C-alpha cells in the first residue's frame, strides 16, 4: 500500500523536501504508525539532527508533532493505527506573535 506523509517548515528543509509536498511510502497492508516511522527513517535517517529523532524509541522526538485525520494529534506510540485519510503531516511547533 502507498501511504503519504508531508513535512512542513524547518523539518522539510532539514530533510531536503519541499514544505507540504507529498512523500509516498510503500508499506505492507495492515501497517501501523511504527511502519511509517521506520520507512521515514530508512529514507531520511541520515539527515535527522539528533534533536529531531529518538533512536532508542525509533520515532521523532517530542518536539515533532504528527497530525492525522481531521487534524488530530497522533499519539506518541508506534502501535497506533494509521489515519483513515491515508496521510500524516509532520510539523515543528512554532512560537511567536
Amino acid 88: pLDDT: 97
* DSSP-derived pairing of the beta strands 2-7 and 87-91: parallel
pTM: 0.91
Amino acid 95: pLDDT: 58
Q: What are the pLDDT tens digits along the chain (97 aa)?
A: 999 999 999 999 999 999 999 999 999 999 999 999 999 999 998 998 888 999 899 999 988 999 999 989 999 899 999 999 999 999 988 755 5
The three cell numbers locating residue 39: 520507512
Amino acid at each position: 500500500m502507498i501511504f503519504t506523509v508531508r513535512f512542513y517548515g524547518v523539518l522539510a528543509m532539514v530533510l531536503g523536501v519541499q514544505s507540504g509536498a507529498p512523500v509516498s511510502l510503500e508499506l505492507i497492508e495492515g501497517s501501523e504508525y511504527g511502519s511509517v516511522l521506520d520507512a521515514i527513517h530508512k529514507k531520511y535517517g541520515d539527515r535527522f539532527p539528533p534533536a529531531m529523532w529518538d533512536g532508542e524509541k525509533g520515532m521523532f522526538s517530542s518536539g515533532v508533532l504528527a497530525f492525522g485525520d481531521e487534524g488530530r494529534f497522533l499519539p506518541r506510540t508506534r502501535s497506533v493505527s494509521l489515519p483513515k485519510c491515508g496521510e500524516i503531516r509532520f510539523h515543528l511547533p512554532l512560537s511567536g506573535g
